[in-house]
């Protein structure tokens, strides 16, 4: 499988390069040159496979020759085992036709583990074969940092530095990062905001000397391998609910558009998907874009579902590319307009292409609390605020009785105990696996909001190679 860039000016690349690079050199995002397609019979034949075997069948064409088949199967089996549930991504029934797809049984209790547990292993494998090592650098407002740290901890050929804004992440989120006692894990509490953290990370990536010296890399959500990993649970859940005979609709709590785009990829691969519902909180850039065609950046509002508090949805560029018949010039023009004016307009034909797959709904904070309350009183299920946004979004959708409705449950309720308690009166307990988190020793450096202070720290703290 060859990959091309959405901006059209980077040479085509194979999986290994796509994995290690993340962003294409022309600033675009990598997408497969063509979507692999499974016939109805081939999809039926996937029924009953274990999650790891299903992943191997679906992902082998994307990985190509970068990883030998036996190695890929082992990596996928290890990644599935790390997810902490025998079904990896189990379904839980809420009513006659509504199901939660629980993606939060991994080490940090959020869905990002599903992809990052695989990514960490793929990186380690490829680096070992190449005899190389690298340094992962990233900023986090909470969830991504811990998932990345868990994915990389203890690996010989990878080191990780994560910046978080000091005193501005939740206590649980901080402990999940700072109690990981491994010599290759470095936490930095920056005296600033999340935007300051991101600005420093960006400045350090722009420093060519440092980038070469430390072999800097990132595993952020625009990496194709993360999208690829997420395709699997769309197939797994749809097959379990009777696909391809029975139509399945997915409601996806959406921020950066990575998760729901993986659902689109599954549909392009042949999975019958009735509809992909883009569920946003009041940070509704995607809902507005799909409803009006105007993609316009506004200020971010803090909500109960912080992982969806976004300004721009980076992965949306991948959909724009397909919706413009893969014309990279069109994508370039839209992205230039966004840079210059903070907005762009999607033309009617492209919008129609998008609406053939996607609907969107914006969910208020009140409706989010209401959905948490209903899941608790109606089905005895505690759901986190991100999941609740997707649940509430279904109210606006007139799906037929025959359609199974799957809500992607992206975080464990215990990760967001305050809003859950506010809605239901019940404070969710941390799973036994995380018991004792509060007693573990923390390790992190407090640094001023200053690029050179962080640069010096990276050089000093790095383990000798
Ligand atoms: C990251 C995240 C999301 C948003 O996923 P995208 O792929 O960025 O759209 C939703 N819920 C939770 C809990 C998350 O951590």
Name the DSSP class of 304. Answer: S
Residue nearest to ligand 1 atom 15, measured at CA = 307
Quick one: average pLDDT of 238-267? 97
- Among the atoms of ligand 1, which is closest to the Cα of residue 384? 13
The pLDDT score that the predictor gives to residue 464 is 62
Alpha-helical (H) ranges within 251-327 are 258-268, 285-292, 316-323
For all residues of the chain together, what is the average pLDDT? 95
Lowest mean pLDDT among 104-113, 218-227, 259-268: 218-227
Percent of the chain at pLDDT exceeding 70: 99
Q: Alpha-carbon distance 88 to 82, whole Å? A: 9
SS3 254: coil
- Among the atoms of ligand 1, which is closest to the Cα of residue 230? 7
If you measure from the C-alpha of residue 460 to the centroid of ligand 1, how many angstroms do you get, rounded to a whole number?
33
Task: Please indicate, yes or no, if residue 370 is contained in any of the structural domains.
Answer: yes
Residue nearest to ligand 1 atom 2, measured at CA = 307
Quick one: average pLDDT of 443-462? 95
Quick one: average pLDDT of 4-28? 94
Task: Please indicate, yes or no, if residue 433 is contained in any of the structural domains.
Answer: no
Phi and psi at residue 357, to the nearest 5°: -105, -40
Query: Is the model's pLDDT at 222 over the cut of 70?
Result: yes
Which whole-number Å values give the CA distances from 385 to 50, 309, 433, in the listed order? 30, 12, 22
If you measure from the C-alpha of residue 462 to the centroid of ligand 1, how many angstroms do you get, rounded to a whole number?
30
Q: Alpha-carbon distance 428 to 424, whole Å? A: 10
Confidence of residue 220 (pLDDT cuts 50, 70, 90): confident
If you measure from the C-alpha of residue 410 to the centroid of ligand 1, how many angstroms do you get, rounded to a whole number?
7
What is the DSSP track for 403-442?
-EEEEEE-B-GGGSHHHHHHHHS--PPPPGGGTTGGGSPP
Task: Please indicate, yes or no, if residue 188 is contained in any of the structural domains.
Answer: no
- Interhelix angle for 328-341 vs 316-323, to 10°? 130
Residues 286-312 have pLDDT tens digits of 999 999 999 999 988 989 999 898 888
- Among the atoms of ligand 1, which is closest to the Cα of residue 147? 15
405: domain range?
A: 91-108+227-424
Q: Residue 302, Cβ neighbours under 10 Å: how many? A: 10
Residue nearest to ligand 1 atom 1, measured at CA = 307
Domain count, the chain: 1
- The residue to mutate among 119, 264, 386, 391, having the most atoms of ligand 1 within 8 angstroms of its beta carbon, is 386
Residue nearest to ligand 1 atom 14, measured at CA = 307
- Among the atoms of ligand 1, which is closest to the Cα of residue 253? 10
Of the candidates 299, 336, 298, 300, the residue with the CA atom closest to the CA atom of residue 317: 336
If you measure from the C-alpha of residue 407 to the centroid of ligand 1, how many angstroms do you get, rounded to a whole number?
13
pTM: 0.95
The pLDDT score that the predictor gives to residue 199 is 86
Token pair, residue 210, equals 């440092």
The pLDDT score that the predictor gives to residue 312 is 83
| Active-site entry in 112, 202, 415, 422 | 112
Strands (E), 132-177: 134-139, 158-165
Task: Please indicate, yes or no, if residue 392 is contained in any of the structural domains.
Answer: yes
Quick one: average pLDDT of 333-355? 96
Higher pLDDT, 141 or 78: 78
Percent of the chain at pLDDT exceeding 90: 86
Task: Please indicate, yes or no, if residue 147 is contained in any of the structural domains.
Answer: no
Residue nearest to ligand 1 atom 8, measured at CA = 256
Task: Please indicate, yes or no, if residue 348 is contained in any of the structural domains.
Answer: yes
Residue 238 near residue 54 (C-beta atoms within 8 A): no
Q: Residue 464, Cβ neighbours under 10 Å: how many? A: 3
Query: At CB < 8 A and 24+ separation, what contacts does 63-72 make?
Result: 63/1, 63/15, 64/1, 64/14, 64/15, 65/14, 66/14, 66/15, 66/16, 66/19, 66/126, 67/15, 67/122, 67/125, 67/126, 71/125
Q: Are strands 3-5 and 30-32 parallel, antiparallel or unpaired?
A: antiparallel
The pLDDT score that the predictor gives to residue 462 is 80
Sign of CA dihedral 60, 66, 69, 75: negative
Task: Please indicate, yes or no, if residue 28 is contained in any of the structural domains.
Answer: no
Residues 305-320 have pLDDT tens digits of 998 988 889 899 999 9
- The residue to mutate among 108, 109, 111, 257, having the most atoms of ligand 1 within 8 angstroms of its beta carbon, is 111
Query: Is the model's pLDDT at 465 over the cut of 70?
Result: no
If you measure from the C-alpha of residue 137 to the centroid of ligand 1, how many angstroms do you get, rounded to a whole number?
20
Which whole-number Å values give the CA distances from 297 to 281, 300, 321, 386, in the listed order? 15, 9, 19, 21
- Among the atoms of ligand 1, which is closest to the Cα of residue 259? 7
Residues 381-407 have pLDDT tens digits of 999 999 999 999 999 898 999 999 999
**Which residues are CB-contacts of 12 (< 8 A; sequence separation ≥ 6)?**
2, 3, 4, 33
Residue 298 near residue 265 (C-beta atoms within 8 A): no
Confidence of residue 221 (pLDDT cuts 50, 70, 90): confident
Lowest mean pLDDT among 120-124, 167-171, 266-270: 167-171
SS3 204: helix
The pLDDT score that the predictor gives to residue 170 is 83
Tell me whether residue 112 is one of the annotated catalytic residues. Answer: yes
- The residue to mutate among 29, 108, 116, 253, having the most atoms of ligand 1 within 8 angstroms of its beta carbon, is 253
If you measure from the C-alpha of residue 386 to the centroid of ligand 1, how many angstroms do you get, rounded to a whole number?
8
The pLDDT score that the predictor gives to residue 159 is 95
Which whole-number Å values give the CA distances from 234 to 40, 84, 100, 128, 410, in the listed order? 16, 19, 12, 31, 13
- The set of protein residues with a Cβ atom below 6 angstroms from ligand 1 is 110-112, 143, 221, 253-259, 307-308, 386, 410-411
**Which residues are CB-contacts of 121 (< 8 A; sequence separation ≥ 6)?**
75, 78, 79, 151
If you measure from the C-alpha of residue 257 to the centroid of ligand 1, how many angstroms do you get, rounded to a whole number?
8
User: CA angle at residue 169 from 163 to 175, to 5 degrees?
Assistant: 80
Which whole-number Å values give the CA distances from 284 to 240, 363, 450, in the listed order? 32, 9, 32
Q: H or E segment at 295?
A: strand 294-296
- The residue to mutate among 115, 300, 410, 411, having the most atoms of ligand 1 within 8 angstroms of its beta carbon, is 410
Beta bridge partners, 216, equal 135
- Among the atoms of ligand 1, which is closest to the Cα of residue 142? 15
Q: H or E segment at 361?
A: strand 358-362
Confidence of residue 142 (pLDDT cuts 50, 70, 90): confident
Residue nearest to ligand 1 atom 11, measured at CA = 410
Residues 85-122 have pLDDT tens digits of 999 999 999 999 999 999 999 999 999 999 999 999 99
If you measure from the C-alpha of residue 299 to the centroid of ligand 1, how many angstroms do you get, rounded to a whole number?
19
CATH number for the domain that contains residue 303: 3.40.50.1100
The pLDDT score that the predictor gives to residue 182 is 95
């Amino acid at each position: 499988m060859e990959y091309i860039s959405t901006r059209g000016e980077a040479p085509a690349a194979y999986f290994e390069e796509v994995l290690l690079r993340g962003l294409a050199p022309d600033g675009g995002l990598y997408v497969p040159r063509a979507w692999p397609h499974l016939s109805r019979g081939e999809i039926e034949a996937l029924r009953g496979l274990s999650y790891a075997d299903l992943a191997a069948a679906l992902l082998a064409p994307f990985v190509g020759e970068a990883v030998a088949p036996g190695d890929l199967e082992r990596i996928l089996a290890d990644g599935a085992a790390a997810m902490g549930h025998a079904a990896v991504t189990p379904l839980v029934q809420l009513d006659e036709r509504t199901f939660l797809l629980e993606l939060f049984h991994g080490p940090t209790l959020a869905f990002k583990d599903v992809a990052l547990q695989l990514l960490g292993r793929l990186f380690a494998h490829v680096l070992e074969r190449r005899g190389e090592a690298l340094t992962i650098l990233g900023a986090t407002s909470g969830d991504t940092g811990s998932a990345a740290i868990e994915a990389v901890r203890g690996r010989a050929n990878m080191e990780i530095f994560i910046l978080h804004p000091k005193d501005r992440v939740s206590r649980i989120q901080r402990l999940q990062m700072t109690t990981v006692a491994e010599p290759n894990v470095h936490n930095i509490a920056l005296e600033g905001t999340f935007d300051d953290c991101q600005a420093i990370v960006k400045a350090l990536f722009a420093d060519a000397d440092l980038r070469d010296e430390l072999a800097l890399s990132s595993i952020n959500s625009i990496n194709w391998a993360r999208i690829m990993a997420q395709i699997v649970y769309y197939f797994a859940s749809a097959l379990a609910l009777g696909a391809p005979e029975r139509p399945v609709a997915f409601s996806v709590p959406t921020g950066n558009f990575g998760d729901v785009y993986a659902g689109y990829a599954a549909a392009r691969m042949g999975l019958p998907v009735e509809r992909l519902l883009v569920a946003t909180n009041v940070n509704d850039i995607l809902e507005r874009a799909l409803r009006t065609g105007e993609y316009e950046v506004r200020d971010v509002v803090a909500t109960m579902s912080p992982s969806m508090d976004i300004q721009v949805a980076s992965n949306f560029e991948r959909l724009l590319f397909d919706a413009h018949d893969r014309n990279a010039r069109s994508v370039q023009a839209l992205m230039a307009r966004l840079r210059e004016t903070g907005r762009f307009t999607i033309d009617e034909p492209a919008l129609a292409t998008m609406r053939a797959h996607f609907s969107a709904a914006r969910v208020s904070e009140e409706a989010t609390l209401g959905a948490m309350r209903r899941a608790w009183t109606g089905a005895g299920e505690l759901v986190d605020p991100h999941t609740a946004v997707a649940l509430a979004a279904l109210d606006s959708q007139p799906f037929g009785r025959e359609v199974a409705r799957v809500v992607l449950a992206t975080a464990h309720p215990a990760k967001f105990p305050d809003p859950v308690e506010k809605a239901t009166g019940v404070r969710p307990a941390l799973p036994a696996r995380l018991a004792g988190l509060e007693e573990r020793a923390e390790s992190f450096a407090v640094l001023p909001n200053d690029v050179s202070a962080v640069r010096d720290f990276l050089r000093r703290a790095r383990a000798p190679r």
